[in-house]
Amino acid sequence: MTSPIPFVDLKQEWAPLRREVLDRIGAILDHGRFIGGSEISELEAALAQIAGVRHAVACSSGTTALLIALLALDLRPGDEIIVPAFTFAAPLECALLAGARPVLVDVDYPSGLINLDSLRRAITGRTRAIVAVSLFGVPADFDAICALAAVSGITVIEDAAQSLGAERNGTPSGGLCEIACTSFFPTKTLGAAGDGGALFTDRSDLAERFREILNHGQSERYRHVRLGLNGRMSSIAAATLLARLAGLPPALDARRRIGAIYDKELDALRSSGLYLTDIPAETSPARSQYAIALADRDAAAAALGAAGIETAIHYPSPLHRQAAFAGTQQEGQLEQASRLADTVLCLPIYPGLGSASQDRIIAALHAHIASRPR
């Protein structure tokens, strides 16, 4: 019996860091600043470097980061926020929580990145922001998105929850537009031992506003100058991230190497109806899942499962088919978002995934496709 291949292997990722993490947590127990410890500013300085921006602001999760970014825009009722229909629910939730009117747009197939024609058609005089997601570790085309937005003074926000460490034309994800938000959910490219998130911007006034909002809108203690919330990151979460920073570049290299092997070894299956995302030449991805698409997705997932390979479906439903978001305004029929939800399948891709496991995954997909009835 061959050993199972998990979709992610966090225990293995953290094992070599155990001593350092415990030491860093011990230091926090000693200094006692569980909130606002020096770990936060140390982490923020490192994150700003990773994203190539002047300001990184740590917060409690990727969702909180998106909410803070939208609250910072001082939205008025009727203001529209454009969100892709195929992504994790957070950007849509945050647009609603911030009191705006979200407008769902379609995505490209099979990349899941925002479709520029749908985006162009969705922009109105009421559009205040576009949240473009760098999905599956591939930065969206922010040159084109920012050019569309600039005409009408619309704020562009990158949801970089899945793309920290990626680049486009040498510019890191997080620094591709005015505001970016990321997540340190444990399975992300830079995952904490718990929840965490961050905002990125070059604008000092925005960074200042983000800091106020994540601390109950306070400019100083008990002076509430704007609506805010508790969006603070804990010192312990920051410490666990600090322990991972040195390992980030080699981990990203490993993810890219495995991605390139999948690209090459699965290429021949395109003629059998397997869809792969073509990574643009100007892009360096940072994938924590390798998304493919195929019509018999469920049968493929079952075949890989029978071979001991765990896969994941991100995401089984587009946002416009979710009960919580019924009635959300949409641009067109969102056909590619629906099609992607019905066909997408994510393969494991992480530094500890050895070449024997990669070979098994590739072989299992080839075997599944060869076994289809003709």
Ligand X SMILES: Cc1ncc(COP(=O)(O)O)c(C=O)c1O
- 155-159: strand order across its sheet: 55-59, 197-201, 179-183, 155-159, 127-133, 80-84, 101-105, 329-330
Cα–Cα distance for residue pair 181/56, rounded to 1 Å? 9
Q: Which stretch binds ligand X (CB under 6 A): 121-129, 154-162, 169-177, 262-270?
A: 154-162
Cα–Cα distance for residue pair 179/364, rounded to 1 Å? 41
Cβ nearer to ligand X, comparing 138 with 258: 138
User: Quick check: 172 binds ligand X (CB under 6 A)?
Assistant: no
Distance in Å, CB of 309 to ligand X, minimum: 22
- Candidates 140, 161, 233, 291; binder of ligand X (CB under 6 A) is 161
- Could you say which residues in the range 260-289 bind ligand X, by CB under 6 A? none
Q: Which stretch binds ligand X (CB under 6 A): 7-15, 56-64, 216-224, 242-250?
A: 56-64
Q: Which stretch binds ligand X (CB under 6 A): 101-109, 158-166, 241-249, 361-369?
A: 158-166
Cα–Cα distance for residue pair 174/189, rounded to 1 Å? 13
Cβ nearer to ligand X, comparing 62 with 174: 62
DSSP H helical ranges for the chain: 10-14, 18-31, 38-51, 62-71, 90-97, 116-122, 142-151, 204-213, 235-242, 248-266, 297-306, 335-343, 355-371
Determine the 3-state secondary structure of 160 from DSSP: coil
CA gyration radius for the chain? 21
Q: Tokens representing 111?
A: 């990349």
- Candidates 28, 56, 129, 133; binder of ligand X (CB under 6 A) is 133
Q: Which stretch binds ligand X (CB under 6 A): 85-93, 165-173, 198-206, 362-370?
A: 85-93
User: Quick check: 62 binds ligand X (CB under 6 A)?
Assistant: yes
Cβ nearer to ligand X, comparing 185 with 275: 185
User: Quick check: 162 binds ligand X (CB under 6 A)?
Assistant: yes
Distance in Å, CB of 97 to ligand X, minimum: 13
User: Quick check: 61 binds ligand X (CB under 6 A)?
Assistant: yes
User: Quick check: 159 binds ligand X (CB under 6 A)?
Assistant: yes
DSSP tag of 182: E
Q: Which stretch binds ligand X (CB under 6 A): 59-67, 77-85, 198-206, 258-266?
A: 59-67
- Could you say which residues in the range 187-226 bind ligand X, by CB under 6 A? 195, 197
Q: Are 261 and 358 in contact (CB under 8 A)?
A: yes
Cα–Cα distance for residue pair 237/240, rounded to 1 Å? 5
User: Quick check: 173 binds ligand X (CB under 6 A)?
Assistant: no
- Beta strands 155-159; 179-183: pairing state: parallel
Determine the 3-state secondary structure of 334 from DSSP: coil
User: Quick check: 185 binds ligand X (CB under 6 A)?
Assistant: yes
Distance in Å, CB of 13 to ligand X, minimum: 17
281 CB neighbour count, 10 Å cutoff: 7
Of all residues in this chain, which one has the CB nearest to ligand X in the complex? 62
Count, residues near ligand X per rule CB under 6 A: 14
User: Quick check: 90 binds ligand X (CB under 6 A)?
Assistant: yes
Determine the 3-state secondary structure of 346 from DSSP: strand
Cβ nearer to ligand X, comparing 165 with 358: 165
Q: Report the interface residues with ligand X, using CB under 6 A.
A: 61-63, 87-88, 90, 133, 159, 161-162, 183, 185, 195, 197
